[in-house]
Amino acid sequence: MRAKPRYQELKEMIVRQISSGRLKPHDRVPSENELVESAGVSRMTANRALRELTDEGYVERVAGLGTFVADPKAASHLLEVKSIAAEIESRGHRHTARVISLKKEPADADQARALDLARRTPVFRVLLVHFENGLPIQLEDRSILPEFAPEFLLQDFTLVTPSEYLSDIAPLQEAEHVVRATRAPAEVREALDMERDEPCLLVVRRTWARGRPVTYGRLYHPGSRFELTGHFAPPGVRPTAPQPGLEQKP
Amino acid sequence: MRAKPRYQELKEMIVRQISSGRLKPHDRVPSENELVESAGVSRMTANRALRELTDEGYVERVAGLGTFVADPKAASHLLEVKSIAAEIESRGHRHTARVISLKKEPADADQARALDLARRTPVFRVLLVHFENGLPIQLEDRSILPEFAPEFLLQDFTLVTPSEYLSDIAPLQEAEHVVRATRAPAEVREALDMERDEPCLLVVRRTWARGRPVTYGRLYHPGSRFELTGHFAPPGVRPTAPQPGLEQKP
DNA sequence: TGGTCTAGGCTGTATATACAACCTCCCGGA
DNA sequence: TCCGGGAGGTTGTATATACAGCCTAGACCA
């Protein structure tokens, strides 16, 4: 058998064209029959490639019409890799950030466990507050394996959020999340301008690359000013999306 | 063409067997050839059904060996359709439930908005508490469109959770979630045996069928005894999932 | 001009067939 | 006893073929 299945090669070829920008959202992707011609595969193989790309959110297909590059937003899922800045701006609000600290420091017990390191191994760590229209909305406490992002300490995180920077240098990662309601520690409460005993939504997030954890973040949100939302369409429910603004085709 | 594709019927049949418990984790699922015999489909159709169930995390396949029901945790995406009872049991703990109320009542403003109904339209509503090893872990306040589940009031929800019952009568739905950290209302605090000012994780969930919302639930969890976890692998990262235990509580 | 109908392209599904790769188990030979 | 080598079942992939259903553009007719 081939090293890579042909439907997989087809998928990767198309994804390359999308992520390189040669194919833009709403552009037409070659039809199954065109792929049969150009790639020399059977139509069922082309169909599988395009169908899986549909499931993965890269393209949308309309029977009778064709296959089109999907709008990036359609691909996003609750807690998916998505920057809080983009979210705030997509609400039409203004995002700003303030860096509290940004330095290399020895891992504490928590970081060491999360990143699978020995205690006191040096890690990069940034603490910053995100504001929505001037209101503090998230305290981000993030640690990164230095060898994964050597330039990390040189970034200006008031311009590019850590998530954006990291997803730039390694776009496809795996992530693990834990969501909890907690009482915020005093310093968090202070940074976020929260009332005493105000509930706090804590999202703990780890991302992997090459089989090992490389970043670890604790994201604190004031309960009264923040919520996580998401839409989930399980298997087979293809047409999808009751969601209020349904998007249409050009 | 058939109302439902045959591969879809096959998938639903197998999912029903899994979610009803007739097939347990690690049990063997009928092979492609057995499905060819028993369901009267071609092997490619059986292959597609099983392959998609693999992608969706319901089953795992090993070439040369067979197809097996996946370990539930591997299947679960954060906030996916999954019964809390199954989750508790997958941790090796004991799940029990107590029904506080179960009746038909006119929709209040909140329910009417969520289910897209006129106020005072009758809906079915159940209030129940879920326990993990005797500890209250979730207060479920769920409303259902009567025409969607006419037998709803006749169920014994100490035996089958509303989620399980609903996913039995319509396995594949779309869902929308909102997660918040809140202060629990007094009656919730009492039902869950929570301290005053203890943070509360609230998951609001709506599910759709045939293009309209059919169920609306508010799930309250004591912040000190509950967390949501999830693993996310973006498109193309198929092998997935390190996921060592990051499951314990402060 | 304006409405209707159809041809043709496209996706969606289903089947039969074929071969490769993998795994377990059992049998036979050293 | 131990080891090697198949046999047979299972998944993974690829192809050719067929038909149903959707959509648009353009031909056709009133």
ipTM of model: 0.57
Mean pLDDT in residue range B70-91: 61
What is the per-residue pLDDT for A230?
Answer: 64
Q: Cα dist. B88→A85, A140, A141, A159, B118 in Å?
A: 36, 31, 30, 43, 37
Between residue 21 and residue 50 of chain B, the positions with Cβ below 7 Å from nucleic chain C are 40-45
Q: Is the confidence at residue B99, as pLDDT, over 90?
A: yes
Q: Is the confidence at residue A76, as pLDDT, over 50?
A: no
What is the per-residue pLDDT for A75?
Answer: 36
B216 touches B114 (CB < 8 A): yes
- Return the number of CB contacts < 8 Å for A and B: 168
Q: Is the confidence at residue A248, as pLDDT, over 70?
A: no
Q: How confident is the model at residue A170 (pLDDT cuts 50, 70, 90)?
A: low
Domain spans of chain A, in order of start: 6-75, 84-222
Cβ contact (<8 Å) for B213 and A114? Answer: no
Q: How confident is the model at residue B7 (pLDDT cuts 50, 70, 90)?
A: very high
What is the per-residue pLDDT for B234?
Answer: 44
Looking at CATH, the fold of the domain delimited by A84-222 is given as Chorismate lyase (3.40.1410)
At A109-149, the pLDDT tens digits run: 999 999 989 899 999 999 999 998 889 999 999 999 999 99
Q: Does B79 touch chain A (CB under 8 A)?
A: yes
Q: How confident is the model at residue B76 (pLDDT cuts 50, 70, 90)?
A: very low
**Protein residue at shortest CA distance from C1' of D22:** A64
**Protein residue at shortest CA distance from C1' of D12:** B63
Beta strand residue intervals within A38-134, DSSP E: 59-62, 66-69, 95-106, 122-132
Domains B6-75 and B84-222 share a fold: no
What is the per-residue pLDDT for A197?
Answer: 86
Test mutation, B13, B179, B205, chain A, max A CBs within 10 A:
B179
CA-CA-CA-CA torsion sign (A105, A106, A110, A113): positive
Q: Is the CB of A68 less than 7 A from some atom of nucleic acid strand D?
A: no
Out of B44-53, B89-98, B124-133, which region has the weakest mean confidence (pLDDT)?
B89-98
What is the per-residue pLDDT for B231?
Answer: 59
Rg (CA), chain B: 20
What is the per-residue pLDDT for B72?
Answer: 61
**Is the domain defined by B6-75 classed in CATH 1.20.1250.20?**
no
Q: Which residues contact A152 (CB under 8 A, 6 or more apart)?
A: A124, A126, A144, A146, A165
Distance B206 CA to D14 C1' (A): 42
Which nucleotides on chain C have any atom < 7 A from a protein Cβ? 8-18, 20-24
Q: Is the confidence at residue B146, as pLDDT, over 90?
A: yes
Tokens in use for B161? Answer: 């959770």
Residue-averaged pLDDT of chain A: 82
Taking Cα atoms as reference points, which of A18, A180, A36, A197 lies closest to residue B235?
A18
Q: How confident is the model at residue A210 (pLDDT cuts 50, 70, 90)?
A: low
Scanning the structure block, which residue is given the tokens 């595969």?
Answer: A41
Cβ contact (<8 Å) for A234 and B199? Answer: no
Q: From CA B130, how far away is CA A47, in angstroms rounded?
A: 45
